[in-house]
Amino acid sequence: MASQEVLNAIEPMAYERDRQEFALGDTLDIKTGLILAALTFLAIQSGDLIHSSLPLCQQILQYISVAALVGGGVLATLELWPVDYDRESTPDKYIDWLETESHNRGAAGHPESVAAVLAKGRVQRTIERINTNVIANKRKSKFMRASFLFVVLSFAANVATLFIRLVY
């Protein structure tokens, strides 16, 4: 493991990155909520278009749109599926561990040593949390991006249908 000097230098960056990864999950959920709103609008539009009498070309475009809406909806749901983010333990969880560690290292009675053990343990645990939460956020991001691509496909099919209706 890294020296105490290195851990002291990396500590603020690790804590900040931990907060960022935790907040990123909420950001992705908010963006996916906006994608769901667009999916809903496009679904209403496609429903209205399908119920009107359309030539075969426009019907095919609307079937593409509906398929994209279904795909986007499924992916948005997967993105919004609840994730248990790894978070820092409550302070009481550290007490037993810290007492055991400081006793094993002979740091009991030396506040500086106990503080160093706590800081080292917290930084190590924060790095583990970051790595766990990065994986969850990458998965959520992939679902959100794919859902967005389906929105774009549905939007393009609807715009093409409307354009054909206006021109012909």
The count of other CB atoms within 10 Å of the CB of residue 76 is: 26
Domain that holds residue 24: 4-167
Structural domain total, the chain: 1
DSSP symbol at 85: -
Residue 1's pLDDT band, with cuts at 50, 70 and 90, is low
- The pLDDT-based confidence of 30 (bands split at 50, 70, 90) is very high
Instruction: For residue 28, count other CB atoms closer than 10 A to its CB.
Output: 21
Gyration radius of the chain over CA positions: 26
| Cα–Cα distance, 109 to 43 (Å, whole number) | 67
pTM of the model: 0.83
* Cα distance between residue 148 and residue 156, in whole Å: 12
What's the pLDDT tens digit per position in 121-148?
A: 889 899 999 999 999 999 999 999 999 9
Structural contact between residues 72 and 150, judged by C-beta atoms closer than 8 angstroms: yes
User: What is the per-residue pLDDT across 44-75, written as a single tens digit (0 to 9) for each?
Assistant: 999 999 998 899 999 999 999 999 999 999 99
